[in-house]
Amino acid sequence: MRKFKTRRPRALPFRLLLVVAGGLLLLAALAPKANADCTDCTLIAYWNFEGTPSPGFPVDMTSNAPGAIIGLTLTTNYNVADLSAEPGLPMNVAPGDVEPNLTSLGFHATGAKTPANFDAQLFSAQGIYDVTCVSFAINVAGNGFASVRLGYSFDGGATFTYTAPQAIPNFLTTITFNLAPGTTLNQSLLVIRLQFLGGQSNGANLQDLFDNYQICGTIVPEPATIAGGLLGILGLCFHQRRRLIRSVRLRRA
């Protein structure tokens, strides 16, 4: 009887094990990460205020690379005439930001605009944005805002839940807010707000510089993406199983 040259049967189960292990690693990569700080998490949106100014504003108000969302407009209730383009701040620059750090957003007449809101609409059909960290650089140049707090809305900005406010010190610093993982997940009409409070001057002089605004967390794949990955893994396993069975039958023959 003619004998066929086949692979060693023992090698095939090992390859099957590798395929399954690879699939499990893929699922782990797709699963949400439970991070409570700004390290080891995805940069969802990033504003460095560089580039061509947005219409009506002194700086670019759209989100930039290396954030995952590009071109998202940061909206505000601030009087545009009391905003200015100022030198960039050397803190909280996102890793991978290749643009020159030349520009920050300057605040004037903070007393006349309290509270001052800066809103980012993270809308998605499945509510895929799990925001766990929000941070920015700020430098006080005069009698600017006294504090700032983080707000999040699940109804498109009609109502907000706020964290406790943080004091803004009279020097260059980075301010960070943390949210518990899962707080904003599955919210299709998510809005993230920075709300500046306690403006202390109505003068035209420069009072605060705001720069390198980061929204971080996890972008959770939509169910269709996860289902596609699972089907791919099952297909690979089934293919390897058929090859294993065929090899064993030939070996016995």
Total number of domains in the chain: 2
Same domain assignment for residues 165 and 70:
yes
Q: Is residue 25 part of a domain?
A: no
* Span 48-86, pLDDT tens digits: 999 999 999 999 999 999 999 999 999 999 999 999 999
| Terminal-residue alpha carbon distance, the chain | 8
75 and 189 co-located in one domain: yes
pLDDT tens digits, one per residue of 1-45: 454 444 444 444 445 444 444 443 443 443 434 333 476 799 999
Which token pair is 142?
């005069």
Residue 36 placed within a domain = no
Q: Looking at the structure, do residues 212 and 242 belong to the same domain, yes or no? A: no
**Residue 116 shares a structural domain with residue 127:** yes
Q: Is 126 helix (H, G, I), strand (E, B) or coil?
A: coil
pLDDT at 250: 52
Q: Are residues 145 and 156 in the same domain?
A: yes
Look at residue 140 and give its three-state secondary structure.
strand
Total-model pTM:
0.76
Amino acid 245: pLDDT? 52
CA distance 67 to 172: 23
pLDDT of residue 142: 84
> Domain check: are 100 and 170 in the same one?
yes
What percent of the chain clears pLDDT 90, i.e. is strictly above it?
Answer: 69
The C-alpha R_g of the chain, in whole angstroms, comes to 26
Nearest to 49 by CA among 118, 90, 99: 99
Residue 29 belongs to a domain: no
